[in-house]
C-alpha cells in the first residue's frame, strides 16, 4: 500500500511539472490521495461510524466545499455516501453482511418513485441544464439519498447499542444547534460557527435562528425531531452529570425553536408534545403542570404585545434585519398575512395545474418554469406568483401528479403501519421497546406537519434524519419478527 501510494505521488509530480499545474492544485491532489485511502479504511472498519460521519458532513456542507482537480464536482458528503454504498454492497456480495429479511414493500415503492422521477425528468428535459450538466441535486436531496439512508439504517443499525449511540450523536448536534441559535438571536457573531451563518444575504431568514442550514424552518424541524431522541435518553441509565447535559440540551432546543420565529415549527412542536402524556403516563402530571405554565406565560406576554402592528409590504425583510425589537418580531410573525396570501395563490395555481395534468403532472423540477401562467387573481387576495411551492405536497401534485403523490403516500403510510405493528409486539420495558416507537411518532408529527408548510425537497439533512429513524424502526420490527420465528 505504501509503495503504491509513493509511486502514485511520484507519477503525479512528474505529470504536474510537465503540465505546469499550480502548486495549490497539486497540494489538493496530494491531500486527496493521502486522505482517500484513510477514509476508505475508516468506513470499511465500521460502516455505522461512516454513516454518522456522513451526517456531520451534510450538516456543514455549505462550509468549505472542496473541488478536486481532474475529478467531477463531488462534495465530501457525496464521496462518503458513495463509499458507504460501495462498501456495503461489497460486504453483501462477499457474504460478510446479511440484508434484513422482509419489509421490502417500502424499498420497492422507493425504487419505483425514484425511477418514475428520473423518467419524468428525462421526458420533460429537466435532467440536464445547459452550463450545469446533470441537474439532479434536488432529486438526490429529496428522494434518492434519504431513501438510501433508510436502507442503510435498516441494515446497519442492528442493535440497541447503535441506536443509543445515534441518539447521543444527534443530542450532541442539537447542543451545537441550540447554542448557535441563541448566539444568532443575541447577535454574538464571534461565537457563531461557521461564520457564513451571520452573512445577511446567505440563504434566507437572516435574523432568525437558522443555523448552518441557513433556513429557520429547517433548523426548527431538525431540533423538533431531535428533541424526542434526547427526551428518551433521560429515561435511560446515565450518570447525573450526563442527564444534566441532556436537560441542558433540551432547554437549548426549546429556546432555539422559539427563536426560529417560524409558526410551522412552533405548531408542529407543540402538537408533537402531546405524544408524551399519551405514551409516557408517568409524566402526565409534570406535562400538565409545564403546559399550564407555558400557556400562562404565552397569554401574559401576548396581551402586552400590539397585535395590530401595521406590517410593511415586505414584512420579512423588516423583521429580519434588526429594525424592530424582539417582541415586535414575535408580533409580526403572529400577525403576518403575506405568507397566507402567497399560499392561497399557490394552491389556486396548483389546482389548475392538477386539473390539466392530474395523472403524471408536468414533470419534476418544472414548477418554476410552468406555473406562472396558472396563477390568477383571487378576490380579496393580493396577486402574487410563487416560483417554488411553499409546501411539499403541492409541489409533488403539480410536478408528479397522482402517481408520484400516491407513491410517496404509500411509503409514509407503510412506514407508519410498520411502526404501529412494532408498538404492538415490542416489550413495554427496555430501550428497544414501545417507548422507542413513541419517540419515532413524535418525530414523525414534527416532520409531517412541517412539510405541509415548508418545501423540504432541497434540504438533505432533515429528510435523511426522518428516514434514518424510519429505517431504525422498520429494521427493529423485522429483526423482532425473525427472532420470534426462530423461538
| DSSP collapsed to 3 states, 409-471 | HHHHHHHHHHHHHHHHHCCCCCCCCHHHHHHHHHHHHHHHHHHHHCCHHHCHHHHHHHHHHHH
Mark whether 190 and 260 lie in a shared domain: yes
- Max mean pLDDT range (88-92, 186-190, 426-430, 443-447): 443-447
pLDDT of 421 higher than 70: yes
Task: Read off the C-alpha cell for 293.
Answer: 405554565
pLDDT of 23 higher than 80: no
Average pLDDT over residues 388-405: 90
b (16+ CB within 10 A) / e for 124-136: bebbeeeeeeeeb
Question: Per the domain annotation, does 355 fall within a domain?
Answer: yes
Q: State the pLDDT confidence band at 482, using cuts at 50, 70 and 90.
A: confident
- pLDDT value, residue 337: 72
| Range in 80-94, 272-286, 330-344 the model is least confident about | 330-344
pLDDT digits (tens, 9 = 90+) for 295-306: 776 666 555 554
- Max mean pLDDT range (17-26, 56-65, 68-77, 278-287): 278-287
pLDDT of 160 higher than 50: yes
**Which of residues 78, 98, 118 is at a domain's end?**
98
- pLDDT value, residue 192: 92
Average pLDDT over residues 280-287: 80
Mark whether 143 and 210 lie in a shared domain: yes
| Range in 189-198, 286-295, 432-441 the model is least confident about | 286-295
**Residues 6+ positions from 80 with CB-CB distance below 8 Å:** 39, 43, 50, 53, 54, 57
- pLDDT value, residue 80: 86
Cβ pair 210, 260 in contact under 8 A: yes
Greater pLDDT, 480 or 111: 111
Indicate the average pLDDT of the chain.
83
Question: Per the domain annotation, does 328 fall within a domain?
Answer: no
Mark whether 358 and 264 lie in a shared domain: yes
pLDDT of 382 higher than 60: yes
Number of domains in the chain: 2
What is the C-alpha separation between 440 and 419, in angstroms, rounded? 8
pLDDT of 419 higher than 90: yes
| Range in 19-23, 102-106, 203-207, 374-378 the model is least confident about | 19-23
Q: How far is CA 42 from CA 33, 53, 80, 310, in A?
A: 15, 10, 11, 57
Which residue spans within 24-135 are E strands per DSSP? 128-129, 133-134
Average pLDDT over residues 52-80: 73
Give the number of other Cβ atoms within 10 Å of residue 111's Cβ.
Answer: 14
- pLDDT value, residue 410: 96
Question: Per the domain annotation, does 138 fall within a domain?
Answer: yes
Task: Read off the C-alpha cell for 258.
Answer: 422559539
- pLDDT value, residue 269: 93
Mark whether 130 and 189 lie in a shared domain: yes
What is the C-alpha separation between 171 and 228, in angstroms, rounded? 10
The domain of 55 spans 1-98
Question: Per the domain annotation, does 310 fall within a domain?
Answer: no
pLDDT of 24 higher than 90: no
**Residues 6+ positions from 287 with CB-CB distance below 8 Å:** 273, 276, 277
- Cross-strand partners of 128: 134
Taking the chain, what is the end-to-end CA distance rounded to the nearest angstrom?
47
- pLDDT value, residue 440: 96
- pLDDT value, residue 287: 79
pLDDT of 335 higher than 90: no
Q: State the pLDDT confidence band at 444, using cuts at 50, 70 and 90.
A: very high
Mark whether 280 and 154 lie in a shared domain: yes
pLDDT digits (tens, 9 = 90+) for 129-149: 776 667 788 899 999 999 999
Length of the chain: 487
Question: Which position has the grid cell 472542496?
Answer: 66
Task: Read off the C-alpha cell for 55.
Answer: 451526517
| Range in 63-72, 86-95, 306-315 the model is least confident about | 306-315
Mark whether 15 and 163 lie in a shared domain: no
Average pLDDT over residues 437-454: 93
The pTM of this model reads 0.86
- Strands 133-134 and 128-129 come out as antiparallel
Phi-psi region of 202 (alpha: psi -120 to 50; beta: other; left: phi over 0): beta
Task: Read off the C-alpha cell for 406.
Answer: 400516491
- pLDDT value, residue 129: 75
Mark whether 416 and 292 lie in a shared domain: yes
Mark whether 208 and 89 lie in a shared domain: no
Helix count and strand count (H, E) for the chain = 20, 2
Task: Read off the C-alpha cell for 183.
Answer: 448566539
Greater pLDDT, 304 or 230: 230
- pLDDT value, residue 290: 74
Give the number of other Cβ atoms within 10 Å of residue 339's Cβ.
Answer: 15
* Helical ranges in 186-262 per DSSP H: 216-233, 240-259
| Range in 26-30, 54-58, 433-437, 455-459 the model is least confident about | 26-30
* CA 255 to chain centroid: 20
Mark whether 91 and 114 lie in a shared domain: no
Amino acid at each position: 500500500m505504501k509503495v503504491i501510494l509513493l509511486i502514485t505521488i511520484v507519477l503525479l509530480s512528474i505529470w504536474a511539472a510537465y503540465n505546469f499545474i499550480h502548486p495549490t492544485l497539486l497540494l489538493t491532489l496530494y491531500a486527496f490521495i493521502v486522505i482517500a485511502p484513510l477514509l476508505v479504511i475508516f468506513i470499511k472498519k465500521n460502516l455505522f461510524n461512516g454513516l454518522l460521519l456522513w451526517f456531520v458532513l451534510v450538516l456543514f456542507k455549505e462550509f468549505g466545499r472542496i473541488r478536486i482537480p481532474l475529478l467531477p464536482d463531488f462534495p465530501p458528503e457525496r464521496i462518503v455516501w458513495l463509499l458507504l454504498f460501495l462498501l456495503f454492497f461489497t460486504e453483501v456480495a462477499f457474504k460478510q453482511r446479511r440484508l434484513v429479511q422482509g419489509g421490502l414493500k417500502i424499498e420497492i415503492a422507493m425504487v419505483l418513485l425514484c425511477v418514475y422521477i428520473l423518467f419524468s425528468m428525462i421526458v420533460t428535459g429537466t435532467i440536464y441544464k445547459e452550463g450545469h450538466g446533470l441537474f439532479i441535486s434536488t432529486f438526490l436531496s429529496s428522494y434518492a439519498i434519504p431513501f438510501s439512508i433508510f436502507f442503510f439504517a435498516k441494515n446497519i443499525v442492528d442493535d440497541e447499542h447503535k441506536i443509543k449511540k445515534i441518539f447521543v450523536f444527534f443530542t450532541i448536534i442539537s447542543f451545537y444547534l441550540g447554542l448557535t441559535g441563541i448566539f444568532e438571536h443575541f447577535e454574538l457573531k464571534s461565537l457563531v460557527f461557521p461564520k457564513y451563518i451571520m452573512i445577511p444575504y446567505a440563504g434566507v431568514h437572516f435574523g432568525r435562528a437558522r443555523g448552518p442550514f441557513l433556513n429557520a424552518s429547517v433548523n426548527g424541524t431538525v431540533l423538533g425531531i431531535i428533541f424526542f431522541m434526547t427526551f428518551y435518553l433521560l429515561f435511560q441509565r446515565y450518570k447525573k452529570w450526563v442527564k444534566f447535559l441532556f436537560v441542558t440540551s433540551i432547554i437549548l432546543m426549546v429556546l432555539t425553536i422559539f427563536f426560529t420565529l417560524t409558526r410551522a415549527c412552533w405548531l408542529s412542536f407543540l402538537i408533537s408534545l402531546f405524544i408524551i402524556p399519551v405514551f409516557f403516563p408517568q409524566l402526565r402530571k409534570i406535562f400538565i403542570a409545564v403546559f399550564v405554565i407555558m400557556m400562562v406565560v404565552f397569554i401574559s406576554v401576548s396581551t402586552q404585545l400590539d397585535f395590530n402592528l401595521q406590517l410593511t409590504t415586505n414584512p420579512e425583510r423588516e423583521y429580519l434585519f434588526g429594525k424592530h425589537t424582539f417582541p415586535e418580531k414575535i408580533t409580526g410573525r403572529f400577525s403576518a398575512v403575506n405568507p397566507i396570501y402567497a399560499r392561497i395563490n399557490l394552491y389556486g395555481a396548483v389546482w389548475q395545474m392538477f386539473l390539466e395534468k392530474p395523472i403524471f403532472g408536468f414533470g419534476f423540477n418544472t414548477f418554476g418554469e410552468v406555473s406562472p401562467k396558472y396563477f390568477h387573481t383571487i378576490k380579496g387576495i393580493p396577486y402574487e406568483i410563487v416560483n417554488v411551492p411553499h409546501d411539499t405536497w403541492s409541489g409533488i401534485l403539480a410536478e408528479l401528479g397522482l402517481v408520484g403523490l400516491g407513491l410517496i403516500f404509500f411509503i409514509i403510510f407503510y412506514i407508519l403501519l410498520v411502526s404501529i405493528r412494532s408498538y404492538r409486539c415490542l416489550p413495554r420495558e427496555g430501550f428497544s421497546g414501545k417507548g422507542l416507537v413513541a419517540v419515532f411518532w413524535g418525530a414523525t408529527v414534527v416532520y409531517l406537519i412541517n412539510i405541509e408548510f415548508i418545501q423540504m425537497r432541497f434540504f438533505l439533512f432533515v429528510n435523511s434524519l426522518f428516514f434514518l429513524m424510519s429505517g431504525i424502526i422498520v429494521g427493529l420490527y423485522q429483526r423482532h419478527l425473525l427472532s420470534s420465528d426462530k423461538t
